[in-house]
Structure 1
Amino acid sequence: MTGRPITLRLRIQDPVPGVTYSLQDKKNHPVGPVVSGDGPLAFDVPLSVAPGPRFLGEFVRSEGPTRRFVYIAIGTSAGDYGSTWTRRAKIDIHTLPAELLALALEGAVLEVLLPGRARDGGPACATVVPLEGWRLAD
């Protein structure tokens, strides 16, 4: 992986309790599965940034010439084959503000707060719109 390393934190505010969530790598394998409880979940995503900026790494997915995103796998997609859920949440990273990206390149962790539930009451999926914009993690 070329470029300079950064860390993005994906924080799910209100995940559905008892459901397995994980990051999903480029080969569609679940990485770091956890079962949600009553509180928020968070995943730290290591990646690197090359000039452009170009986002690179095992978790970075692409769509078209500019869209870059990370998947959170849910239920069977996260390796829990007994789950009633088979979903993925797509979190865009190509829209990171330049000033925050500059801070991340200096070692800051950037965080985004995501909704945990879809309109049907199940886990939020498809392209997930953050509850708040990207910010510096505490």
Structure 2
Amino acid sequence: MTGQPITLRLRIQDPVPGVAYSLQDKKNHPVEPVTASDVSLALDVSVRLAPGPRFLGEFVRSEGPSRRFVYIAIGTSAGQHGSPWTRRAKIDIHTIPEGLLAKALEGAVLEVLLPGRARDGGPACATVVPLEGWRVVG
């Protein structure tokens, strides 16, 4: 297996209560959905980091030569039948600073704080701009 595993934590501030959120694998399947309450929600994703840096793994998607991201599936996309929401949030990971990646290779967890809601009051979706940048949390 190429690359060393690291953990990225996607923390969603103010998610829509009662709505399911999950990571989405490369086959577009939701993985371990969690139903949001009125507190922040965290999804941990394991990726492999190879020299370059290159991001690899079951959840890593690519667009062009350098953009790498993961999807958060929301509502019916996360397997929640009957949800009024069918959305995905794209979270860029290629922008993580190399200094933080070095900490992750030493075992630290890297976290990003994401908005939970879009302008329409529903779950944030499309390319989501973090509320706070990546940081070491553990």
Aligned to 2:53: 53
C-alpha displacement at 1:72, in angstroms?
0.3
- RMSD over aligned CA atoms reads 0.7
C-alpha displacement at 1:81, in angstroms?
1.9
Aligned to 1:33: 33
Alignment of 1:60-99 (within 5 A): 60-99=60-99
Secondary structure at the aligned position of 2:119 is classed as coil
Q: How many Å separate the matches in 1 of 2:116 and 2:2?
A: 33
C-alpha displacement at 1:50, in angstroms?
0.6
Provide structure 2 residue ranges, at least 5 long, that are not aligned to the other structure: none
- Deviations, residues 80-121 of structure 1 (Å, cap 9, x unaligned): 121010000000000000100000011100000000000000
Aligned to 2:7: 7
Q: How many Å separate the matches in 1 of 2:40 and 2:67?
A: 27
TM-score where L is the length of structure 1: 0.98
The one-letter code matched in structure 2 to 1:83 is S
Q: How many Å separate the matches in 2 of 1:113 and 1:92?
A: 12
Q: How many Å separate the matches in 2 of 1:60 and 1:23?
A: 10
Q: How many Å separate the matches in 2 of 1:53 and 1:24?
A: 22
Secondary structure at the aligned position of 2:132 is classed as coil
Q: How many Å separate the matches in 2 of 1:98 and 1:72?
A: 23
C-alpha displacement at 1:2, in angstroms?
1.2
Provide structure 1 residue ranges, at least 5 long, that are not aligned to the other structure: none
Question: Is 1:107–2:107 an aligned residue pair?
Answer: yes
Aligned length: 138
Q: How many Å separate the matches in 2 of 1:27 and 1:137?
A: 30
